[in-house]
Each structure stands twice: as structure tokens, then as C-alpha cells.
Structure 1
Amino acid sequence: MKNLETFNLSVPPSVLDDLKDRLKNTRWPGEAEGSGWNFGTSETYLKELVDYWINKYDWRKQEAELNKYPQYTTDVNGMKIHFQYIKGKGKDSKPLLLTHGWPDSYYRFHKIIPLLTEGNQSFDLIIPSIPGFGFSEKNAVHNEAVADLWKVLMTENLGYHKFYAAGGDVGMSVTKALASKYPEVVAGVHFTDVGYPMGQEDPNTMTEAEKQFAQFVQQWWYSEGAYAMVQSTKPQSLAYGLNDSPAALAAWILSFGNAGASPEILEKAFGGRDELLTNIMIYWVTQTIGTSARMYKMDAMAQWSGAEPLQKSNVPAGVAVFPREAQFPKEWAERFVNVVSFRQMKEGGHFAALEVPDVFAEELRDFFYSIA
């Protein structure tokens, strides 16, 4: 290992005092009577959440929880990368790189850390913050560039010759790029999604199940995809308001988290009300909502550049489809990755590691220990 500096999270009291003042001084826009979540995040619910945030949520308790596990920063190709690094207690622990998405953070995997580092089938867990997110450098880059950084982090900074990788959402794109570009060092990968039809596919090559999936995705983008369009085109315009108002930041994240759902389901998606707020707090205290949104623009620019798409990798891939995730068929996954395990899960959603940590941890352990 080289160039590692111990990191301890300690937010200045002035930041927390300022946060409470901003929350108390929120200018509420009002909402259409009876609109619920149909126009975006419910103001009725958000007011309840903000009241809880001001009067009951304990950041110092959550901060201590985050500091339970070793964290570091290191220089990777001239960029500061923050990551958790927890050694497994088994005799031959497997190195496992876990990559989060948007609008979550490295906190996405917090609950599975003790589940995957105990016992004989354990893992050395490496859980970084993507550049532009959390405590890594505030510099947005596209997903292939993140994969390049992760390869260096794992092989040069941490000294692993081979490692495993898993991710969903943005983390899926990064993990897929890792497997495609660096199959000599990536021993296996796991996904909870593998990408979505974008309307450019040849329908003559698609199965009926894939066509149904494409139709669902098209409808979803029209009803729920505004966040991606804005962040892929005008992330800077969005950043001013979200970086200035914690209520606005929460509203934007929650509208993606599970728009149209009841508060109970919404909070369950993030693992609970405190977990939901802790994830939002990581964006707030680091002021990274702007750079995290900017990653969508960087990915879009990379696609528009005309670069050759990544080739399908032969690295063994496990795929788990959770019931409150977009339900893609196996043949769709096989277009992009070398599927050796495809499982339909019985519970959980987009943030399964927070929502159903036992189920998610068992899935990762079963897959990675089945391939080597």
C-alpha cells in the first residue's frame, strides 16, 4: 500500500448551525391541493422531514457511525480519492470494490460492511467516493475515467493483483467499464442493473421480453426521467439552488429516490429516515451536489464524442434483479456482460444494500465465492 492518509469525518459546528438556520428559513412554494407526489416531492411530506431534520436528527451520532470503519484518502493519478477500507476477518478474504451511484454515496454500502467482513467467506471491502461525490476531489469525470482511477487505486495504491467489483446505477457503468477495459485484473463483477434501452436498438434483434422492457423504460423516462435530462444538459443551472437550500437538495434527491411512493416506501428505499438524511447530509456538508450532477454531463459529452463503445467483457458476471427495480430480462443483460448467474430477488429495490442488507450481502457472497 502507498500514499494512504487516514481520514476522520468531523464536520465543523458552524456548518451544522448554518444548516439549521437555512432549514428554519425555508421559503415554501406551496403545492396544488391534493397533489401528493404527482407534481414532484410532496411539500406536506417534506415539511415533516425538515421538522425531523431540525429537531430529532442527530448528525453527530451518524458521524460517529461513519467513523466506525477505517477511511483514507489517497492520490490516484493526481486526484484525491476518499475510500473506506475494511479488511475481512477470514483467512483468504477476497478484495471487493463497491461503487455507489447517484443520488446516493459511499454510505450506500454501510450496512453490509459487517455482513461481508465476518466469517470464513469474507471480503476486504474497498468503498470509494466517486470523484465529485462526498469526500473525494470535487472534480466530475465520466464513468470510464472513474474505472481508470479505480484500477490504479486497487492495483498500485492498494497492491491487489486481482480483485472483484460490484455496483449499481452509476456504479454499474463504472464496474462494467472496469471489466471491459481491465479483464486481466478484474476476476468477477456483480450488477443490480446493466443499462437501459435508449431507442437506438434494432427491434429485429430484440426478444419480446426486451421489447416490453424497452417500452417500460421509455414510459419511465417520460414520467420520471427529468432529473437525468437536466443533469445531462444544464447541471450548473441546477446546482445553485440545490447547493444553497438544504430543503431543495432533499426535495431533488427524494423525487428521484421513489417518486410517487408513500413516505413509508420512500424511507424504506434508503433504509430509514435517519439513513435517508445521512445520505443527503453527505452531499450538503461536502457541497458536492453540483459536481455529482455534472458527472451526467461528462458522460453525455463522452457519448457524443463518437468514441467507440466498450466491448462486452468475458469477466464472469452475476446479476440480481430486485422487485422494485426496472425488470430487465436475462437476454438484455447478456448483451453487455458475461452472465453466469441471473437471479430474481424477492424483496428490495434500487438501494438494496441499504434497504435489505442481509439479502444483498448474501447475494454478493454466494456469487463471488461460486466463481473462484
Structure 2
Amino acid sequence: MMEFTPFSVKVSDEVLTDLDRRLASTRWPDAIPGTGWTYGTDLGYLQELIAYWKDQFDWRSFEVRFNKFPQFTTMIDGQRMHFIHVKSPVPDAKPLLLLHGWPSSPLEFLKVIGPLSNPAAHGGRDEDAFDLVIPSLPGFAFSGPTNDAGWHPGRIADAFAELMTGLGYDYFFAHGGDFGSVLAGQLALRHPDRVSGLHVTFLVTGGLRPEDGDPTPEEAQLADDQAVYNMVETGYLALQASKPQTIAYSLVDSPVGLAAWIVEKLNTWTDNGGDLETVLSKDEILANIMTYWVTATGGSSGRLYFETAVAGMMGPSAKRVEAPVAVAIFPHELYRATRRVAEHHYNVVRWTPQAKGGHFPALEQPEFLATDIRDSLRAMSGVPAVDGSAG
């Protein structure tokens, strides 16, 4: 029987004191005046963020907020797994696995926990309530670092299926963005008898097939946009998929290096109109960065790209996901496709364009995301009855 140990975040004073010392002794690089984010992370913005981190950010307050949610750890396949487990006050609520990606952690979902677990208290309906299981991916934050090789999406999906079994859930839904979407797909492929349906915001698809004929104007524009993105925005992916240990030294030893690596992605991948803090506050940005710093997982999290590449799982799966799949289309998502392309790879039953939002919709547009998850999973018909839970 799987054992669950209650967990709460409590970083030692020594770690925080050491962080202050490192922030105070930063040696800054030069930057060409007026280049902004063109060459990478903007120097002026990063200096402003680091000053706030050192003098104003209150990690202890965040610990209090995070620890309001029930958290546990367990061992699966030799790896410690951390997860939040919020049981709905509604009897017979449906189990829902929420899966984050890189560079993120379970805190990405804090804003949607209430609306999904207790929708009636947030303008929704009791019948849309979910029991929520929100794990840290192996190698990320409080599930890290990993201590052996081979933690690719298939192995992680198997571990999460085992976690859901241990919690007493025979069937469950899954939501994911970024790598969370990849993991959701692997769960449906490897455990089709367990997954009642998927909700994703990120698609891994190929191009058109010969039988599709010519691309539509929308598809042609998406292909052009993707070519530009691949040329200028995927250096991080190439490095983490080939030599993750090289960047790990900087990410684990330098808080400013870690912040620069992550905040550049937050700036590029969010729908922010040129101002990151219109969608994410400094506190939200730094809380996310801190989950990597205090656990020394900036390096091990990047290994997920390497393991995925080595396993031959970086592109779309050779098998189609036959579980019902609902897709929320946020306009600033990294990889976009049309429904007819997506349907080659997924059994798409719902396709819902959103008014605004990017790669982290649970942080950027939590109301849009929670509403679409509830509407989508309610609309999925013919799913098995779901059991209650333990844990």
C-alpha cells in the first residue's frame, strides 16, 4: 500500500540568508543600450526584479499561502513525488489531475483550485466540482532533483497513474499545458482504461498530410509564425535537450542566472502586450523562481528535455490519443494548429478559442481556464463512473 507523508514548505533561514548574500554580490554583465529583450533577458528589468527580490519579496508569506493546501509526498519508482491533494466539499466530485510544465510548478494552479474544487462558491455549479491532484513533476521543485536517468514523459505518466491508484481513483480526468499536455497524452495512451478525458492548452502536432490538400490561409500563417519562433526562441530547448548539465551549474549556483533563464521565458510566452507585469506580478514571478532555487532543481528540471529527446518522444506520438480531448486555444500559445491538423493526433471533441492568454493560462487568465475546464469536462459524455478518494 502506498504511503503518504504530509508535507509543508518550510525553507531554512540559512538558505534565505545565503540567497540574500548571493543577490547582494551579483556581478552584472554589460548590455548594448536600447536593445531591451532583443538579445535575451533585459538588463534593466532584471536589475529591478532582483532589487525587489532582495529587499521586498516575502517568501515566508508565500509559504503560508502555499501551505493552506494539503500537500503530501510519496515514493514511486524510486523517486520522491510531491503533490497537492484538494478534496472537494461536494460528494462524488470527479478526480482531476492538473499537470504543469517547464519552467513551472504546482503553484501555477493556485488561482484555479477554488473554482475547480468548490465551483458553487465561485459562481459555478456543484456538479462541476473536482477533487484535485496537482503533482510536482519528477525533478521539479519539491519532487526533485531526480536521482536516476530515464524520467521521460512515458515513465512520468506511469508514475502519475500509480499515484492516482494509490489515492483511490480508478478513473480520472487530466489537464495539462506545456509538458503537462504531453504527459496527459501519454496517460491516455498508456492507461486508456483509466483516463476519462483530457483538457489541454498546448498541442504537439505534425504538419499537414498529403490527403489534406493545400493549407488554409490560417494554416499557412501559423506555419510562417512557427518558423520564426523556431528560429529565434528555441535555443533553451536545444541546450536542455542536448547538454542540460552545462547550464545546470549556473542555474543552481546563481539566483540571478536562474531568474534570467526563467523570466525571459515568462516574458516571451505570456500574452502581456510588451509588459510582463500586466499579467504576472513580481511576487508571482519570484515565487515561481524560488521553487527552483530553494530546491536546487533548476538543473534537474531541464533534464526532462534530454530524457524526452533520448526516448524519441520530442515530437507528436505515433499513436492517436483516442480519449476525448478538449482543447482551449489561447492566442499567445507557443505551438498552435488548426482543428483538422490536431484531429490527426487527438480525438478532439471540443475546440474553444479564448479571447486572451498565453502559455500559462492558469496564472494569466485563471477564470477563462477554470470555466473552459468545467464546461469541457461536463460536455464529455459516456465517461465511466468515478470513485471517491483516499490519501
Report what 2:64 is aligned to.
64
1:126 equivalenced with 2:133 (yes/no): yes
Measure the CA separation in 1 of the matches of 2:316 and 2:41.
38
Report what 2:389 is aligned to.
none
Match of 1:366 among 372, 375, 383: 375
Does the 8 Å contact 2:269/2:358 carry over to 1?
A: no
> What is the deviation of 1:203?
6.0
| TM-score, normalization by structure 2 | 0.89
Measure the CA separation in 2 of the matches of 1:335 and 1:265.
36
3-state secondary structure, aligned to 1:369: helix
Report what 2:330 is aligned to.
322
> What is the deviation of 1:260?
9.4
Measure the CA separation in 1 of the matches of 2:269 and 2:162.
41
Match of 1:266 among 270, 276, 294: 276
1:332 equivalenced with 2:341 (yes/no): yes
1:150 equivalenced with 2:160 (yes/no): yes
3-state secondary structure, aligned to 2:203: coil
Correspondence list, 1:38-53, <5 A: 38-53=38-53
Regions of 4+ moved over 6 Å: 260-264
3-state secondary structure, aligned to 2:294: helix
Report what 2:142 is aligned to.
135
> What is the deviation of 1:268?
4.0
Q: Which amino acid aligns with 2:159?
A: L
3-state secondary structure, aligned to 2:357: coil
Measure the CA separation in 1 of the matches of 2:47 and 2:369.
32
1:303 equivalenced with 2:277 (yes/no): no
Measure the CA separation in 2 of the matches of 1:202 and 1:143.
26
Measure the CA separation in 1 of the matches of 2:46 and 2:157.
36
1:29 equivalenced with 2:29 (yes/no): yes
Report what 1:346 is aligned to.
355
Measure the CA separation in 2 of the matches of 1:142 and 1:203.
31
| TM-score, normalization by structure 1 | 0.93
Measure the CA separation in 1 of the matches of 2:260 and 2:154.
29
Measure the CA separation in 1 of the matches of 2:373 and 2:339.
18
Measure the CA separation in 1 of the matches of 2:251 and 2:109.
24
**What are the superposed Cα offsets for residues 64-118 of structure 1, whole Å, 9 maximum, x if unpaired?**
1110100000122332110000001112211000110001111111111111111
Report what 2:115 is aligned to.
115
Q: Which amino acid aligns with 2:293?
A: W
Measure the CA separation in 1 of the matches of 2:282 and 2:372.
25
Measure the CA separation in 2 of the matches of 1:203 and 1:252.
39
Report what 1:313 is aligned to.
321
> What is the deviation of 1:217?
1.3
Measure the CA separation in 2 of the matches of 1:72 and 1:160.
16
> What is the deviation of 1:210?
3.5
Does the 8 Å contact 2:188/2:195 carry over to 1?
A: yes
Does the 8 Å contact 1:37/1:260 carry over to 2?
A: no
C-alpha spacing 1:95/1:246, structure 2 compared with 1 (3 Å): same
3-state secondary structure, aligned to 2:134: strand
Measure the CA separation in 1 of the matches of 2:53 and 2:274.
16
Correspondence list, 1:281-300, <5 A: 281-300=290-309
Measure the CA separation in 1 of the matches of 2:198 and 2:96.
9
> What is the deviation of 1:11?
0.1
Does the 8 Å contact 1:196/1:214 carry over to 2?
A: no
Q: Which amino acid aligns with 2:66?
A: L
**What are the superposed Cα offsets for residues 136-167 of structure 1, whole Å, 9 maximum, x if unpaired?**
14216111111111111112x11111000010
Q: Which amino acid aligns with 2:169?
A: Y
Measure the CA separation in 2 of the matches of 1:77 and 1:159.
18
Q: Which amino acid aligns with 2:131?
A: D
3-state secondary structure, aligned to 1:314: strand
Report what 2:73 is aligned to.
73
Q: Give the share of equivalent positions with the same residue, in percent.
A: 41
C-alpha spacing 1:340/1:129, structure 2 compared with 1 (3 Å): same
3-state secondary structure, aligned to 1:34: coil
Measure the CA separation in 1 of the matches of 2:92 and 2:246.
49
3-state secondary structure, aligned to 2:325: strand
> What is the deviation of 1:175?
0.4
Q: Which amino acid aligns with 1:218?
A: A
C-alpha spacing 1:233/1:259, structure 2 compared with 1 (3 Å): same
Q: Which amino acid aligns with 1:232?
A: A
> What is the deviation of 1:191?
0.6
3-state secondary structure, aligned to 2:143: coil
Q: Which amino acid aligns with 1:125?
A: L
**What are the superposed Cα offsets for residues 145-195 of structure 1, whole Å, 9 maximum, x if unpaired?**
11111111112x111110000101010110011111111000010110111
Measure the CA separation in 2 of the matches of 1:340 and 1:196.
16
Q: Which amino acid aligns with 1:151?
A: A
Q: Which amino acid aligns with 1:46?
A: L
Does the 8 Å contact 2:269/2:359 carry over to 1?
A: no
Structure 2, unaligned runs of 5 or more: 121-125, 382-391
